[in-house]
């Protein structure tokens, strides 16, 4: 019976997330009053999906820890919504929804992969969610954020250098630093300071001299990351910078130079780094060395292929056969057990977030804020693309995580910061417009 329910439940689960995704895009095409209603429905769908998935997992495992964990999570979601309702009446409902939906998918798949890791993830989520709640408030009250580019640069470069000199190595890359017993990945946070630095620099001026200086500092970021062999992050920084430079200067030459530079850099990294060669070879033909280099990507393809469109059902597949599944290959695990359609919906939700970031950026008047929205959006979406593309063998695997879904403390906290900053921009704008309406009325 439990098997039958797991089997059947694949269809409503897919339907729920598909509806949610539909509303996520329908949102763009409707008026303000209707948007509220859409967001209300989305939250309902999210709760339903959460309940259904945990119900299936409980029936499969008969483990009472799962329903308890479910209730704790549901309470967290409720509190998260309530805090926003209480403190930020002018919030973007859809962004809050999307944060919760992605977290919900993450909680489902992590609890399936490893209950212990899901609990640790949950604790980090509660902490990060609470801490970053204050960010929109800060952004509404401190106006000097665009005036201190060098502080961001020194902070970012300092952290990266610390990792370079004292970091620990994992999977060929030097990315983590242990401070007071806690292991963290500073590059996740430097991403944000990097966007702030670039935005603040271009906010001041886009003269040739300013562009040169900014490019030099940005290149320094990328080079230190490359030297630490964290090439996934280096790539994300690089693309973000090129996007920001183009948007700020409207100069197509810079975009062309950026693409040319990327080609040169890929060739150089192929020549310099053996683990790049390994990954590219594994991408070109994973079957040639399926026992070693091709193992991870082959297992990932087996998982996605065997799962098919609707998945095997929760606890019905073997996602744990993929090495590092809970981080770099969480997309494959989702696809295997919840189905490729479900996984595609997750991608579309991420893409929807990115588009919402851009819309918010377009509404902002200050160039600094526009660039922040674009920069953070690019960081986010490039990461999503790299992880999903890597898991499906569309591009070589770069070893980055799916924000809000993959396991990992630094990733969660930095993504919370990222979304809170964007939320802050939205609230800033709404508050301002509200004031203007108020002034116009009286």
Q: What does the binding site for another protein look like in residue numbers (CB under 8 A)?
A: 3-4, 7, 243, 246-248, 250, 287, 290, 298, 301-306, 308-309, 312, 316-318, 321, 340, 344, 347-348, 351, 354-355, 358, 361-362, 365, 367, 370-371, 373-374, 378, 381, 385, 388-389, 392-394
Contact, 319 vs 335, CB < 8 A? no
Question: Please, which residue, 83 or 290, has the CB nearer to another protein?
Answer: 290
Structure tokens at 336: 């295997």
Say what the alpha-carbon torsion angle 99, 349, 9, 104 is, to the nearest 10 degrees.
Answer: -10
Question: Please, which residue, 58 or 302, has the CB nearer to another protein?
Answer: 302
Question: Please, which residue, 230 or 336, has the CB nearer to another protein?
Answer: 336
Question: Is 21 strand, coil or helix?
Answer: helix
Closest contact distance (angstroms) between CB of 304 and another protein is: 7
- The gap between the terminal CA atoms of the chain, to the nearest Å, is 66
Closest contact distance (angstroms) between CB of 8 and another protein is: 9
Closest contact distance (angstroms) between CB of 247 and another protein is: 4
Question: Please, which residue, 44 or 287, has the CB nearer to another protein?
Answer: 287
List all residues 6 or more positions away from 65 whose beta carbon is below 8 Å from its beta carbon: 115
Closest contact distance (angstroms) between CB of 84 and another protein is: 26
- To 5 degrees, how large is the angle CA 45–CA 49–CA 51? 115
Closest contact distance (angstroms) between CB of 350 and another protein is: 9
Structure tokens at 369: 């804020």
Closest contact distance (angstroms) between CB of 432 and another protein is: 15
In angstroms, rounded to a whole number, what is the distance separating the alpha carbons of residues 223 and 235? 10
Structure tokens at 226: 């490359």
Question: Please, which residue, 28 or 143, has the CB nearer to another protein?
Answer: 28
CA separation, residue 216 to residues 114, 221, 251, 252 (Å): 43, 9, 18, 19
Sheet holding 182-184, edge to edge: 168-170, 173-179, 182-184
Question: Please, which residue, 99 or 245, has the CB nearer to another protein?
Answer: 245
């Amino acid at each position: 019976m439990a098997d039958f329910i797991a089997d059947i439940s694949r269809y409503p689960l897919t339907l729920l997330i598909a509806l949610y995704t539909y509303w996520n895009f329908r949102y763009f095409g409707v008026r303000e009053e209707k948007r509220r209603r859409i967001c209300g429905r989305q939250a309902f769908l999210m709760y339903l999906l959460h309940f259904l998935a945990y119900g299936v997992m409980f029936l499969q495992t008969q483990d009472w820890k799962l329903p308890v964990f479910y209730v704790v999570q549901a309470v967290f979601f409720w509190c998260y919504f309530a805090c926003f309702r209480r403190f930020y009446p002018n919030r973007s409902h859809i962004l809050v929804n999307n944060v919760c939906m992605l977290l919900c998918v993450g909680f489902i798949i992590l609890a399936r992969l490893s209950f212990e890791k899901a609990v640790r993830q949950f604790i980090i989520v509660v902490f990060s969610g609470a801490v970053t709640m204050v960010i929109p408030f800060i952004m509404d009250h401190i106006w000097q954020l665009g005036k201190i580019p060098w502080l961001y640069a020194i902070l970012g470069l300092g952290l990266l250098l610390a990792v370079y000199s004292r970091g620990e190595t994992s999977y060929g890359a030097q990315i983590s630093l242990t401070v007071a017993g806690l292991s963290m990945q500073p590059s996740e946070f430097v991403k944000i300071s990097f966007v702030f630095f670039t935005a603040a620099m271009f906010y001041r001026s886009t003269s040739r001299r300013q562009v040169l200086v900014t490019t030099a500092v940005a290149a320094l970021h990328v080079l230190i990351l490359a030297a630490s062999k964290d090439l996934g992050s280096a790539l994300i920084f690089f693309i973000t910078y090129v996007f920001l430079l183009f948007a700020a200067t409207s100069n197509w030459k810079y975009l062309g130079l950026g693409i040319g530079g990327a080609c040169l850099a890929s060739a150089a990294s192929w020549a310099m780094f053996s683990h790049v060669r390994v990954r590219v070879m594994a991408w070109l033909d994973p079957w040639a060395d399926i026992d070693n280099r091709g193992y991870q990507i082959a297992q990932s393809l087996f998982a996605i292929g065997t799962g098919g469109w609707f998945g095997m059902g929760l606890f019905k597949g073997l996602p744990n056969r993929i090495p590092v599944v809970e981080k770099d290959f969480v997309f494959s695990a989702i696809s295997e057990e919840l189905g490729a359609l479900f996984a595609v919906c997750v991608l579309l939700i991420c893409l929807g977030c990115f588009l919402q970031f851009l819309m918010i950026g377009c509404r902002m008047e200050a160039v600094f804020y526009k660039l922040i929205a674009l920069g953070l959006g690019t960081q986010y979406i490039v990461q999503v693309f790299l992880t999903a593309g890597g898991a499906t063998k569309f591009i070589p695997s770069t070893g980055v995580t799916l924000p809000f879904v993959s396991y990992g403390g630094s990733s969660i906290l930095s993504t919370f910061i990222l979304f809170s900053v964007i939320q802050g921009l939205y609230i800033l704008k709404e508050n301002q417009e509200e004031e203007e309406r108020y002034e116009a009325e009286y």
